[in-house]
Chains A and B, each alone.
Chain A
Amino acid sequence: MLPSTAPLTTLVTLLATDVPAGLMPAREQMAVSLGWHIILACFGVAFPTMIFVVHRRGIVKDDPVALGLAQRWAKVSAVLFAIGAVSGTVLSFEMGLLWPGLMGRFGDVLGLPFAFEGMSFFVEAIFLGIYLYGWGRMPPRQHLLTLLPMAAAGVFGTFCVISVNAWMNNPTGFRIVDGRVTDVHPWRAMFNDGVWLQFAHMWVGAFMLVGFVVSGVYAAGLLRGRRDEHHRLGFAVPFTFATVAALAQPLIGHVLGLRVATTQPAKLAAFELAQHTDSPSPLRLGGLLIDGHVRGSIDIPLLGSIIARNSFTTPVQGMDTIPVANRPPVNITHIAFQSMVGIGTLLALAVLVFWLARWRGRDLTQQRWFLRFCVVAGPLAIIALEMGWIATEVGRQPWTVYGVLRTVDAAGDNGGLWWTFSAVLLVYAGMTAGAYVVLRSMARRWRAGEEDLPSPYGPEAALPEGAGR
Chain B
Amino acid sequence: MSLAVAVAAAMFVAVLAYALFGGADFGSGYFDLTAGGSARGAELRTLIDHSIGPVWEANHVWLIFVLVTWWTAFPVSFAATMSTLFVPLVLALLGIVLRGASFAFRKYAATLGQAQLFGVVFAASSLITPFFLGTVAGAIASGRVPASGSGDLWSSWLNPTSVFGGVIAVGTCAFLAGVFLVSDADRNGHAALATQLRLRTLVVGVATGLVVFAALVPLEHDAPTLSAGLTGKAAPLIVLSGLTGAATLWLLVVRRFSVARLTALVAVASVVCGWGVGQYPWLLVDQVTIVDAAGATSTLVALLVAVGLAAVVVLPALAYLYWLTQSERWTEHPDEHPTAQTTRH
Contacts and interface: CB of A to CB of B under 8 A. Distances in A.
A119 B313 contact: yes
A324 to B, nearest CB: 30
Tell me if A's interface is mostly helix, strand, loop or mixed: helix
A163 to B, nearest CB: 13
Interface in A151-191: 181-182, 184-187
A438 B103 CA distance: 12
Contacts, number: 291
A423 interface: yes
Contacts of A97: 82-83, 86, 89-90
A441 B104 contact: no
Interface string A85-105: 111111011011100110111
Interface in B275-298: 295-296, 298
B75 A104 contact: yes
B317 A412 contact: no
A459 B295 contact: no
Interface residues of A, number: 87
B8 to A, nearest CB: 14
B337 A456 contact: no
Contact of B306 (A78, A112, A412): A112
A186 B299 contact: yes
Given A93-B89, A115-B69, A458-B42, A135 B107 contact: no
A103 B79 contact: yes
Interface in A233-248: none
Looking at B67, B119, B149, the one whose CB has the most chain A CB atoms below 10 A away is: B67
A345 interface: no
A444 interface: yes
A456 B100 contact: no
Contacts of B119: 457
Contacts of A442: 108, 110
A185 B108 CA distance: 47
A298 interface: no
Contact of A93 (B38, B67, B72, B103): B67
B202 interface: no
A416 B86 contact: yes
B76 interface: yes
Nearest to A99: B79
Interface string A438-469: 10011011000000111111111111100100
B298 A185 contact: yes
B335 A136 contact: yes
Nearest to A174: B296
Given A97-B90, A123-B317, A434 B105 contact: yes
Given A78-B108, A133-B54, A462-B38, A89 B64 contact: yes
A149 interface: yes
A128 B57 contact: yes
B76 A104 contact: yes
B61 to A, nearest CB: 5
6 contacts: A108-B75, A149-B317, A186-B72, A460-B339, A461-B112, A462-B39
Nearest first, the 10 A-B pairs at minimum CB distance are: A111-B72, A107-B75, A108-B295, A104-B79, A96-B82, A82-B104, A441-B110, A184-B296, A462-B42, A136-B334
